[in-house]
Structure 1
Amino acid sequence: MKRPWFFDAPCSGRTIAWASAGAMLMASMAAAAATDIEVWHSLNPYNKGVFEDLVKDFNKEQKDVKVKLKAFDREDDIEAALAGAKKREDRPQLVQLDDDRAPDEVAGRSYIQPLNTLLAKHPIKDAKWFLDDKNTFARDSKGRLVAFPYMVDIPVMFYNIDAFKKADLKPTVPQRNWASLQDQLVTLANNGSRKCPLTSDQPVSVNLENLAAVNNQLYASNDNGLKGKGKPAFSFDVLYIRHLSMMISWVKSELMVKPEFNANATKRFANGECAVLFSTSSNIGWFSDNRKLDFSVAGLPYYPQVTAKPGNAFVGGSALWATAGHSKESDAASAQFLAWLAQPKRAADWYQETGFLPLTHQAFDQTEKGYYKNLGEWQELVAAYARNPGANGRGFRIDNYPKIRAMFHDTLEKALSGNQSAPAALKTAAAEAGKMMRK
């Protein structure tokens, strides 16, 4: 019987065919062997886009690791999803969380793997963390870094330069003295900014937490809860009473729109409606992307009667926490992604495009002076966080602080709405916080 023609084909042709099929199979197997890691986050829309672009670049460069993102509207939604995840497979490898001013508690959760544990097995080479190690954010009681400090920000004062020019204020910068700022707000209100001389989305941060830090005062006893035995206590003295009384008067006289703990305040500033905004530095990238908005940055105001020189505001924001219980390959992939984010060029881009503090010294050093040209005091404000923050600015440790902070917010809202006097509001808040710490 005559053999089919293909049996007479040259051996080299069959070899090539089989080799091609083998190559395709190997490529398919390699793709299938790639380790997927999931990252949960609650970044604002602008910073979400920046992060997504970075992840796309990472996925293009890597063959063995693929990062998948899942966005949530709020960090509370992430906490709820974590609490509802019954299996390891239901949890992400990396998740954006605050340290809740109790990082030891977060690091001690059964599903969290402290960063220092992960990096002991998979070290990130050559990265020098930017935040001074005396700063307590995302560090445990032994000073060990328990989370990747990637979304760390500080509260700042944004101001609309066009509004200051329209009001004929010279120089076109806000005063950092609270009393002098009040005079400027009156001028702004009378000359073009009547609807919104000042607004804020950080009432607790500006009027309680950082009223202490920026004025070089303790926020709570026991060195802000970092030393001593027993629970720390809040003592909202005459500084707080006078300040909150002034804020109440600002709302009544319409120098300040009542603070809102949502995106309304930042959107109004971005749209050019407000002259001054107290908010977090993580909005810098978003505001810079708005070509119609001519703005700049200053530090929070202080009281010269209390301190000759303003101190550093507490750092805030959040970090990327690694979760526990995943495979060795998964942990290695997570560490590989974090190491990639820590590369000087990548970390510098993140800092410049968002307004989060630099992740590393290299990111800060690689940022050229031109970046700071129209950002007022931003470079000076950032540089301070590479230095020892001092006893009053290191941070604070308060048990059950997320719920206490929510209570503080409600209390301030009542006072600023005219439903409670400053002394009564602060006395009630301090007493209630003491009870909540003990729960």
Structure 2
Amino acid sequence: MKIHPFFGATSAWCAVALMGTSVFGASSALAAGATDIQVWYSLNSHNKQVFQKLVKQFNSDQGEVHVTLKAFDSPDEIESALPGGAKGKDAPNLVQLSDNHAPDEVAKRSYILPLHTLLAKYPIKDAKWFLAPEHAFMRDAKGRLLAFPYMVEIPVMYYNVDAFKKAHLEPAVPARTWMGLQDQLVKLANGGSRDCPYTTDQPVSINLESLAAVNNQLYLTGDNGMQPKVTPSFPLDLMYIRHLSTMISWARTGLLVKPELEAKSTQRFANRECAVLMSSSSNLGWFNDTRSLKFGVSGLPYYPQATSTPGDPFVGGAALWAIDNHTKDQNKATSAFLGWLAQAKNAAAWYQNTGYLPLTAQAFASTDKSYYQNLGDWQELVAGYARRPTPTERGFHVTNYPKIKAMFRQKLNRALEGQDPAVSALRSASAEAGVIVRQH
């Protein structure tokens, strides 16, 4: 089944973008008698359009359920609006929430309806989740799925094929080891990419979280926080010190353009200013629709001194959480909408046009080989997540991680700016994380 051209970058997309959220709300009159449900979400501009088009298709395919969308500028805005909004008469039925690595705690909120509870009453038929159930993403201590795993992303290495060719790098693909990549970045800098050989918009994911998983190391003690009744800690040992020291030297010599906020790094790659970008796979659809950009996708680098074979980085992203205290008709309608999204054709369109991992095994299986043409190792990278992960790949659970991650980013920024050496930056980060974990 070949899905992706249907959702290509056409003038129709522009019309959808101009419609905005208001059109989806105003069109409810066209579905008189339908059960209306509301979805709160926050996506980048490209993926927002993909989602809007799918929802518009759902509303036109049938007349029993009508979905109204409410877009937010950021996930933080959703979190701020949710406590009050979930209790009002206009409470949403589904809300996009980012993975906070403590899904059990989210599920305990008074207004949350765990997905496994919803689907026990109104099951989704004939859908096999793509992501192996051993992954910790959006699952509780019993392995039950707590939210609809729709916006699942992984960190990847994007590379500008033309920049590699211009620097006479053959083959025109990045090395999978950090030191091998360093040699290539030097050649890229001397061969036309001096302004931006390499950058990232996810310094914590690339330099801490994924560094552990890709090198088959635990990120936290206590089996990555999976051991019950054990308060985990972040050792951030010698491997991290050596790596951050290397990144500091890259920043000092210009091989690494320091991470920038507000999607500046991703925009620079889309504008063909940067040769290498390590970022979320959820940017793949956007990059694929940028006609002037010729790029490939590769796995993150690893250190041969740490592992002979690289592991898979942690999955992350967001999911759609069901909100409780709605009528039976609305809960049934919510499940019907999720079931439609899970249908092979619709799930395949979402996967192919965004870069999020496939929702279902059927979506992955139905994706035509032509989709992967010129996308480097993307198919191989995705396929790995259907397999049972190792203990160092499955993810981690820890309390207060959003606050810890924000602190980690500040520490990394100071180090990359030359204000703190790697040793003191990481020791301080580890100590502060230990305090935050224990906060209530």
Which stretch of structure 1 is more off in the superposition, 183-192 or 31-40? 31-40
Cα 1:175–1:89 change in 2 (3 A) is same
SS at match of 1:89: coil
* 2:360 paired residue number: 360
SS at match of 1:308: coil
**Does residue 390 of the first structure (1) align with residue 390 of the second (2)?**
yes
TM-score, scaled to structure 1? 0.92
Percent identical pairs in the alignment equals 63
* 2:379 paired residue number: 379
Distance 2:242 2:387 in 1: 31
Cα 1:331–1:189 change in 2 (3 A) is same
Q: CA deviation at 1:418?
A: 0.6
Distance 1:287 1:97 in 2: 24
Tell me the number of residue pairs that the alignment of Structure 1 and Structure 2 aligns.
Answer: 412
Deviation per CA, 1:282-311: give whole Å up to 9, x if none.
Answer: 011000001100000000000011100000
Distance 2:380 2:227 in 1: 30
> What pairs up with 1:172-191 in 2 under 5 angstroms?
172-191=172-191
SS at match of 1:345: helix
Cα 1:69–1:228 change in 2 (3 A) is closer
**Does residue 83 of the first structure (1) align with residue 80 of the second (2)?**
no
Cα 1:366–1:30 change in 2 (3 A) is closer
Conservation of the 8 A alpha-carbon contact between 1:88 and 1:326:
no
SS at match of 1:310: coil
* 2:249 paired residue number: 249
Q: CA deviation at 1:368?
A: 1.2
> What pairs up with 1:66-77 in 2 under 5 angstroms?
66-77=66-77
Q: CA deviation at 1:30?
A: 10
SS at match of 1:398: coil
Which 4+ runs in 1 deviate beyond 3 A?
28-32
* 1:347 paired residue number: 347
Cα 1:30–1:177 change in 2 (3 A) is closer
> What pairs up with 1:32-181 in 2 under 5 angstroms?
32-85=32-85, 87-181=87-181
* 2:21 paired residue number: none
TM-score, scaled to structure 2? 0.92
Matched letter for residue 191 of structure 2:
N
Conservation of the 8 A alpha-carbon contact between 2:158 and 2:298:
yes
Conservation of the 8 A alpha-carbon contact between 1:99 and 1:106:
no
Distance 2:244 2:266 in 1: 22
Conservation of the 8 A alpha-carbon contact between 2:97 and 2:319:
yes
Distance 1:363 1:137 in 2: 19
Conservation of the 8 A alpha-carbon contact between 1:152 and 1:357:
yes
Cα 1:53–1:239 change in 2 (3 A) is same
Q: CA deviation at 1:85?
A: 2.2
Conservation of the 8 A alpha-carbon contact between 2:158 and 2:277:
yes
SS at match of 1:209: helix
* 1:9 paired residue number: none
SS at match of 2:196: coil
Distance 2:44 2:29 in 1: 37
* 2:412 paired residue number: 412
Distance 2:127 2:65 in 1: 21
Which of the pair has more CA radius of gyration? 1
In structure 2, the gaps of 5 or more residues are: 1-27
Distance 2:31 2:279 in 1: 44
> What pairs up with 1:189-204 in 2 under 5 angstroms?
189-204=189-204
Q: CA deviation at 1:99?
A: 2.9
Distance 1:116 1:375 in 2: 35
Q: CA deviation at 1:332?
A: 0.7
Conservation of the 8 A alpha-carbon contact between 2:93 and 2:334:
yes
Deviation per CA, 1:87-129: give whole Å up to 9, x if none.
Answer: 3324210011123100101111111100000000100001000
* 2:9 paired residue number: none
Q: CA deviation at 1:86?
A: 6.4
* 1:321 paired residue number: 321
Cα 1:334–1:228 change in 2 (3 A) is closer
Q: CA deviation at 1:188?
A: 0.4
Matched letter for residue 300 of structure 1:
L
